Amino acid sequence: MTETLLQPAKTCELHIHMGGGVFAEDLLDLAREHYEYIDWSLYIDQFEQAYGQRPDPVALFRDALEHGQLDALKEHYVYGDRDRGDFAQFQAKFNMAICVYRHWWSALGDQDEIWRRVIAHHRREGLRYVEYRSMAPYDHTQADAFVQFHQRTARVIHESNTPDFEARYLISLPRWAPLECYHLVQRLLDENEGLVPTIVGLDFCHFEEGYPPAGTRAFFQRLRCDNELRPGRALDVAYHVGEVYFDKSLESAVRWCHEAAELGAIRLGHCTALGLDPAAAVARRPQAHELELVDERVAQIRYDLRYRNDLERCGVAIDARALERELDNLADWPRDEPIHRAYAPERLADVRRRQDLVLNRLSELGVVIETCPTSNLRIGAVPDPQAHPIHRFLASDVRLAIGADDPGIFDCTLADEIEWVQRHAGLDPAALHNRLGDPRHYRCGQHRT
Ligand SMILES: [Zn+2]
């Protein structure tokens, strides 16, 4: 009985990247006939830079195939608990898969087989509904390649649907060219009507630093118009935000989450900035979050003036005159100059109130936070399980979905993630089920008419 209660959460995956979904055994299988011919230079060089030792992938694959032993291969691919916290190390290990993908794409002209194996693994694992997302290795400057990559990926996903397994696709738009690439997605849908039921949304992922949500305003406006015009193929937006944000103040990181929701995203990925305690956040590095660009500070002041009443209701004191004076002073500063503001206990307390304000606002809007415990601990700079933002999220009213993010490279399943939450939140299955509900209620594309 207790097992079945959490089945909806354990079988519906809303936050997963195709590229990070390949498990070591599938990678071994994909490289079986090819490992001696694959160009491993990207993996070898970056692994050496990140870990200080030069790996020999050919020997790793040969040994794994000859002895049926995955341990050494996994040690060089899986980004585990011991690696924690360094994105360069994560990328270095991930590059092993990227070298295999590139070989399949370039030398063999086939990306479909990789995705088929990713999906087959998740089906075997017991997943029943999955929304895959993927970033193309191209943007609008290689328009045909961009369209073709997503068309092929969507087709494999489309063909994987069976009565007991549903898969959908969210196309990841590069943060530096959302509108341009969105037009290409529309072209893809025009040319492939049969893929419309599969392509249900759009996603923003990868490095967020340097790409404020405000930069996607024109894209969201256009999307809203198109969705109204053609509700039968309306696209929803999932948006990674507040995941890694050392380039700015805690206030700005909270604001980014708020802005992404107000712009129209229906689900937000991670939002660590809304749930990690500010005192823990600033203790992560010397002078963490004390510097940000003048541009961000100006945007924050404007936000504080705009939301003054809401902030004051939450107990954040807003000195409008002082903020307007600061705005005047900053008018002559170069916008890309760093500005320093240290933290005092009262400022940290205010950040907590701002987090509450935005969590409440997300609840009002019905926006979902997708939280990925293992990913946040290993690459999201969450210091330990007790500090994980999920505790704040669970205590709030915000809609919440749990995802595995890159399960292949983390070597964990969605069920592991749900059990992690149960264990660390101290909730029995019934209580956790009551809090989470069925994540299928949060799927993209469900309001199409
Ligand atoms: Zn993600």
Query: For residue 3, is pLDDT > 70?
Result: no
CA–centroid distance, 135 to ligand 1, in Å, is: 11
Look at residue 1 and tell me whether its pLDDT is greater than 70: no
User: What is the 194 CA–ligand 1 centroid distance (Å)?
Assistant: 27
Q: With 90 as the cut, is the pLDDT of residue 88 above it? A: no
Q: What is the pLDDT of residues 249-288, one digit of tens each?
A: 999 999 999 999 999 999 999 999 999 999 999 999 999 9
User: Is the model's pLDDT at 347 over the cut of 90?
Assistant: yes
Ligand 1 centroid, distance to 367 Cα (angstroms):
17
The model's pLDDT over 135-194, given as tens digits with 9 standing for 90+, comes to 998 999 999 999 999 999 999 999 999 999 999 999 999 999 999 999 999 999 999 999
Q: How far is the CA of 120 from the centre of ligand 1 (A)?
A: 20
Distance from the alpha carbon of residue 381 to the mean position of ligand 1, in angstroms: 14
CA of residue 69 to ligand 1 center, whole Å:
30
**What spacing in Å lies between the alpha carbon of 418 and ligand 1's midpoint?**
16
| Ligand 1 centre distance from Cα of residue 167 (Å) | 17
pLDDT tier, 84 (very low <50, low <70, confident <90, very high otherwise): low
pLDDT band at 107 (very low <50, low <70, confident <90, very high): confident
How do residues 45-80 score in pLDDT, each as one tens digit?
Answer: 999 999 999 999 999 999 999 998 899 999 999 999
Distance, CA 233 to ligand 1 centroid (Å)?
24
Q: Percentage of the chain surpassing pLDDT 90?
A: 94
Residue 356: what pLDDT? 98
Summarize pLDDT for 355-414 with one digit per residue, the tens: 999 999 999 999 999 999 999 999 888 999 999 999 999 999 999 999 999 999 999 999
Of 3-12, 260-269, 291-300, the least confident = 3-12
CA of 327 to the centre of ligand 1 (A): 35
Cα of 17 vs centre of ligand 1, distance in Å, is 6
Ligand 1 centroid distance, CA of 15 (Å): 6
- The yes-or-no verdict on residue 2 having pLDDT over 60 is no
Ligand 1 centroid, distance to 136 Cα (angstroms) = 15
- Could you tell me the distance, in angstroms and rounded to a whole number, from the CA of residue 153 to the centre of ligand 1? 18
CA 16 to ligand 1 center in whole angstroms: 6
Residue 346 has pLDDT above 90, yes or no: yes
Across the chain, mean pLDDT equals: 96
Q: How much distance in Å is there from the Cα of 308 to the middle of ligand 1?
A: 32
The pLDDT assigned to 83 comes to 83
The stretch 338-351 carries a mean pLDDT of 97
Cα–ligand 1 centroid distance for 256 (angstroms): 17
Distance between Cα 197 and ligand 1 center (Å)? 23
CA of 20 to the centre of ligand 1 (A): 9
Packed helices 24-31 and 112-125: angle between N→C axes, nearest 10 degrees: 150
Distance from Cα 405 to the centre of ligand 1, integer Å: 5
